[in-house]
């Protein structure tokens, strides 16, 4: 490669106010073009070589928008002003200079739009798949104590707004608790999603919310009097209620609630960082938990878990299928007393268990569960 003709320029060396006439020559160097200054005033004639990394190479410009003058920084040695941008560009190309990727992108709109589209799609994919994945990974490291604290706060909020103390007689409660505890002892390692996770299981009873049951992270399961009464009224055995409890244990073992809270946290932190608004991170906590809705995939995981756990405990699952589907049916027919309050406080979280055809199929035969 031959050197192109030197370019006339003015050098401001940072020490003298007067510019000096120089010739600038660009030469290929090991790391990219180097810059040589030939000082033209007779008293100080001489030349000085600047290595590639000692030159503050000016950004490139798009075709047809050449600036009238470019300034090249020389760090401690001031700067050079060049009035012939096209000559500079030619010399740079001759010396093997390649514009950086970012600079080449800036000069090509279609490429820039392509990059933008890829960035947007990546971001959407991250929110859709990356966040749940990150949450599932992070959830492994969420301590049980954190879950218990969060659940205690959440239950206190739900108690205050929506639930009343149970009126179920103590003996009936004790019977169901004994069966619940027996069911928990059947939790063999093969059934557990997180083998090292040891929640503290506890069954509590409340009134309100209609026939329902829900699980809080850490192992507290709440069952409503209305659910017990519905099972009794329809003549189902306790296997029906136990199946529902097994489903709730499934939510605990899969840490669905924790994963949703963590996911929301990841999103909040991500958005907070993206928008530069860190205050949104502060909204983490129990209010999140009560406003979240399980995903359909969470329901199917818990259904399959319940079928496996009930099988392990040698209990029939047909009664539970009937009861769960009956609950969903009831949900549609009888509107909640105060849907506004229930909706705003709890989202869909507690009114889950939609009876889709797939779900009915799964609950009756287990056909859609992984073997
Ligand atoms: Zn569920």
Residues 250-265 have pLDDT tens digits of 999 999 988 888 877 7
Sheet with 70-73: list strands edge to edge: 46-50, 34-39, 20-27, 7-12, 79-82, 70-73
Residue 134 has pLDDT above 90, yes or no: no
CA of 255 to the centre of ligand 1 (A): 12
- 115 vs 268, more confident: 115
Q: Which of 83-92, 194-203, 268-277 has the lowest mean pLDDT?
A: 268-277
- Model-level pTM? 0.60
Element (H, E) at 114: helix 109-125
Residue 277 has pLDDT above 60, yes or no: no
CA of 157 to the centre of ligand 1 (A): 20
Q: Which of 87-91, 137-141, 342-346 has the lowest mean pLDDT?
A: 342-346
Tell me 264's DSSP state.
Answer: H
The residue with tokens 């502060």 is: 282
pLDDT for position 312 = 95
CA of 294 to the centre of ligand 1 (A): 7
pLDDT for position 166 = 97
- 308 vs 123, more confident: 308
pLDDT for position 336 = 41
pLDDT band at 332 (very low <50, low <70, confident <90, very high): very low
Distance from C-alpha of 219 to C-alpha of 216, rounded to nearest angstrom:
6
Tell me 56's DSSP state.
Answer: B
Residue 287 has pLDDT above 70, yes or no: no
Distance from C-alpha of 31 to C-alpha of 5, rounded to nearest angstrom:
21
pLDDT for position 14 = 78
CA of 280 to the centre of ligand 1 (A): 29
CA of 266 to the centre of ligand 1 (A): 23
What is the third-level CATH fold of 7-100?
A: PH-domain like (2.30.29)
Domain extents for the chain?
7-100, 143-365
Collapsing DSSP states into helix, strand and coil, what is residue 129?
A: helix
CA of 44 to the centre of ligand 1 (A): 86
Q: Which of 258, 222, 171 is nearest to 350 (CA)?
A: 222
pLDDT band at 193 (very low <50, low <70, confident <90, very high): confident
CA of 18 to the centre of ligand 1 (A): 80
Q: Indicate the average pLDDT of the chain.
A: 80
pLDDT band at 346 (very low <50, low <70, confident <90, very high): very low
CA of 73 to the centre of ligand 1 (A): 65
pLDDT band at 185 (very low <50, low <70, confident <90, very high): very high
CA of 76 to the centre of ligand 1 (A): 68
CA of 223 to the centre of ligand 1 (A): 12
Q: What is the mean pLDDT of residues 198-210?
A: 93
Residue 305 has pLDDT above 50, yes or no: yes
CA of 246 to the centre of ligand 1 (A): 10
Residue 179 has pLDDT above 50, yes or no: yes
Q: Which of 80, 71, 70, 5 is nearest to 39 (CA)?
A: 80
Q: Which of 80, 70, 77 is nearest to 25 (CA)?
A: 80
CA of 350 to the centre of ligand 1 (A): 8
Distance from C-alpha of 34 to C-alpha of 26, rounded to nearest angstrom:
6
pLDDT band at 106 (very low <50, low <70, confident <90, very high): low
Q: Which stretches does DSSP call E strand in 232-362?
A: none
- 63 vs 205, more confident: 205
CA of 33 to the centre of ligand 1 (A): 66
CA of 214 to the centre of ligand 1 (A): 7
Most confident stretch, 164-168, 277-281, 324-328: 164-168
Q: What is the mean pLDDT of residues 338-365?
A: 52
Q: What is the mean pLDDT of residues 325-351?
A: 45
Distances (CA, A) of 202 to 4, 93, 303, 309: 83, 74, 20, 17
CA of 302 to the centre of ligand 1 (A): 6
CA of 141 to the centre of ligand 1 (A): 23
CA of 299 to the centre of ligand 1 (A): 5
Element (H, E) at 213: strand 213-215
CA of 154 to the centre of ligand 1 (A): 17
CA of 272 to the centre of ligand 1 (A): 31
CA of 2 to the centre of ligand 1 (A): 75
Percentage of the chain modeled with pLDDT above 90: 32
Residue 280 has pLDDT above 50, yes or no: no
CA of 228 to the centre of ligand 1 (A): 17
Q: Which of 61-75, 78-92, 273-287 has the lowest mean pLDDT?
A: 273-287
Most confident stretch, 16-25, 41-50, 63-72, 91-100: 16-25
Distance from C-alpha of 43 to C-alpha of 55, rounded to nearest angstrom:
25
Residue 237 has pLDDT above 90, yes or no: yes
CA of 300 to the centre of ligand 1 (A): 8
Distance from C-alpha of 17 to C-alpha of 302, rounded to nearest angstrom:
78
CA of 344 to the centre of ligand 1 (A): 19
pLDDT digits (tens, 9 = 90+) for 42-58: 666 678 899 998 999 88
Distances (CA, A) of 54 to 70, 82, 92, 335: 17, 18, 15, 75
CA of 222 to the centre of ligand 1 (A): 12
CA of 256 to the centre of ligand 1 (A): 10
Q: Is the dihedral of CA 65, 70, 74, 76 positive or negative?
A: negative
Residues with Cβ < 8 Å from 235, sequence gap 6 or more?
none
pLDDT for position 242 = 96
pLDDT digits (tens, 9 = 90+) for 3-25: 578 899 999 887 877 888 899 99
Residues with Cβ < 8 Å from 260, sequence gap 6 or more?
135, 288, 289, 292, 294
CA of 19 to the centre of ligand 1 (A): 78
pLDDT for position 349 = 44
Q: Which of 188, 302, 198, 206 is nearest to 249 (CA)?
A: 302
Distance from C-alpha of 63 to C-alpha of 61, rounded to nearest angstrom:
7
Residues with Cβ < 8 Å from 294, sequence gap 6 or more?
251, 256, 257, 260, 348, 349, 352
């Amino acid at each position: 490669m031959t050197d192109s003709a030197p370019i006339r320029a003015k050098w401001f060396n940072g020490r003298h106010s007067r510019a000096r006439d120089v010739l600038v020559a660009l030469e290929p160097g090991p790391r990219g073009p180097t810059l040589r200054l030939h000082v033209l005033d007779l008293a100080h004639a001489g030349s000085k070589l600047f290595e590639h990394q000692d030159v503050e190479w000016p950004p490139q410009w798009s075709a047809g928008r050449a600036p009238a003058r470019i300034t090249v920084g020389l760090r401690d040695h001031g700067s050079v002003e060049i009035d012939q941008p096209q000559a500079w560009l030619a010399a740079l190309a001759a010396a093997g200079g390649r514009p950086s990727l970012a600079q080449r992108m800036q000069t090509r709109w279609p490429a820039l739009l392509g990059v933008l589209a890829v960035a947007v799609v990546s971001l959407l994919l991250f929110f859709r798949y990356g966040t749940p994945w990150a949450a599932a990974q992070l959830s492994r490291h969420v301590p049980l104590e954190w879950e218990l604290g969060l659940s205690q706060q959440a239950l206190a909020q739900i108690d205050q707004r929506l639930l009343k103390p149970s009126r179920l007689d103590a003996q009936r409660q004790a019977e169901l608790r004994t069966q619940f505890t027996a069911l928990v002892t059947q939790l063999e390692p093969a059934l557990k999603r997180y083998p090292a996770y040891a929640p503290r299981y506890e069954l509590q009873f409340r009134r309100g919310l209609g026939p329902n049951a829900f699980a809080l992270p850490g192992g507290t399961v709440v069952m409503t009097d209305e659910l017990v009464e519905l099972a009794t009224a329809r003549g189902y055995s306790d296997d029906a209620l136990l199946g529902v409890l097994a489903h709730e244990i499934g939510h605990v073992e899969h840490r669905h609630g924790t994963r949703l809270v963590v996911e929301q946290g990841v999103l909040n932190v991500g958005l907070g960082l993206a928008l530069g608004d860190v205050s949104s991170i502060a909204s983490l906590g129990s209010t999140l938990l009560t406003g979240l809705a399980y995903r359909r995939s969470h329901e199917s995981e818990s259904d399959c878990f319940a079928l496996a756990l009930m099988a392990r405990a040698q209990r029939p699952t047909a009664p539970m299928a009937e009861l769960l589907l009956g609950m969903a049916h009831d949900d549609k027919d009888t509107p909640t007393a105060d849907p506004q309050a229930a909706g705003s406080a709890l989202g869909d979280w507690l009114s889950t268990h939609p009876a889709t055809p797939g779900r009915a199929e799964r609950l009756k035969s287990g056909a859609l569960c992984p073997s």
